[in-house]
Amino acid sequence: MRTAITLTLMLAPMLAVCGSGESTHHDFELETVASGLKHPWSLTFLPDGDALVTERAGRLRLIDDGKLQDSPIGNVPKVAAQGQGGLLDVVLHPDFETNRQLVISYAHRTSEGVTTRVSKAKLEDNALRDREVIFEALPRSSTTRHFAGRMVFDDDNNLYIAVGDRGEKDRAQDTGDDAGGVHRITMNGEPAPDNPFLDDPGTNNTFYTYGNRNIQGMTRHPETGEIWSHEHGPQGGDEINIIRAGTNYGWPEITYGIDYDGSIISEKTHMEGMAQPLHYWDPSIAPSGMAFYTGDAFPDWKGDLFVGALVMEKLVRLRLDEETVKQEEDLLTDNGERIRAVVDGPDGHLWLLTDHANGRVVRLAQ
């Protein structure tokens, strides 16, 4: 089995340098690992250093020995690849080395409409085996927007699933409707045992938080284990939050943004019982992908939070003092590519996905 160190040595001679950049603390090169991906959405590393990449069109791809394999992983479910929908996140179970289990999120269509769905499966012989649906956000609707779909496991192997408001903003305050929040379940698809609304008959018992518009980044803090997220605002008001049990994050009752036609969504940015973001952007950067950097390749970045931007086509570095942003720096501003995913790689480098019809897997290296 290859280790992460082997991955670094193995990839180095195969990567093409496609640019360079600089920050307050480090200069770096941008290296292409793979290209020709159709709107890649998520990247996760296997224990042996290989990687899985989702393409929104519905393919799950393997990067083996630093090379993108031509044949996709088999037995991936049919996805609704329309609008913002398609194959979204892929996350390994914390015990993947022994159980080979992973989870995937995707947009799924029936005669009743489209929704965000999550399935678990075993990765065996280049295919997904024993595939089973463990979560489905209801009710379905006809829109093809705001599926969210980012996922992360906690220390107890519970799975957090972000579901967007589906472009129907009032759904985010309706706790009898799965849209517009974060759900926490077990791998059997049951509500996690200590979910905050288990005894509330008016709230679906998988809810962990609500009042979320469209979360496109989730990650665990490397020291506290808390789940951090960011979500798209409308025109302005993209937010960073810590996902805490039972919290209402306010959308659309409070917001720092306005609607796309310039109209006012809410006159309020604060309201009792609703959380304030740790940080927000106005104008919007359209954040997607999120990772704390923990590697050794860039020691002065250690502990910083990195966020990709779609509309603004950049990578944002945030320096934190606990829960306060002390410094913000924009990187890759001249690269001209939408950043969909940001991953703290096992080789000590940052890895990115670019969201284009000819999308790339790239990494930042010295």
CA distance readout (Å), 113 to 77, 116, 214 = 17, 11, 19
Distance CA 246, CA 202 (A): 13
Which two three-digit tokens encode residue 8?
Answer: 């670094």
Name residue 345's beta-bridge partners.
Answer: none
Sequence-ordered list of residues with C-beta below 8 angstroms from that of 161, at least 6 positions apart, any chain: 105, 116, 118, 135, 149, 151, 182, 183, 184, 185
Question: Catalytic pick from 39, 93, 108, 146?
Answer: 146
Clarify whether 146 is annotated catalytic: yes
Distance CA 302, CA 293 (A): 5
Amino acid occupying residue 304: D
3-state SS assignment for residue 171 = helix
Torsion over CA: 125, 131, 136, 140 (sign): positive
Which two three-digit tokens encode residue 148?
Answer: 């969210």
DSSP for 216-276? EEEEE-TTT-PEEEEE--SBS-EEEEEE-TT-B--TTTS-S-B-TTS--S-S-S--TTSPP
* Helix locations, 78-118, DSSP H: 96-99
Amino acid occupying residue 180: G
Task: Give the residue from 133, 146, 155 showing the smallest Cα distance to 88.
Answer: 146
The beta-strand segments (E) located in 149-237 are: 151-153, 159-163, 181-185, 207-210, 215-220, 227-231
Q: Are 278 and 324 in contact (CB under 8 A)?
A: yes
3-state SS assignment for residue 302 = coil
Sequence-ordered list of residues with C-beta below 8 angstroms from that of 223, at least 6 positions apart, any chain: none
Q: Which residues are catalytic?
A: 146
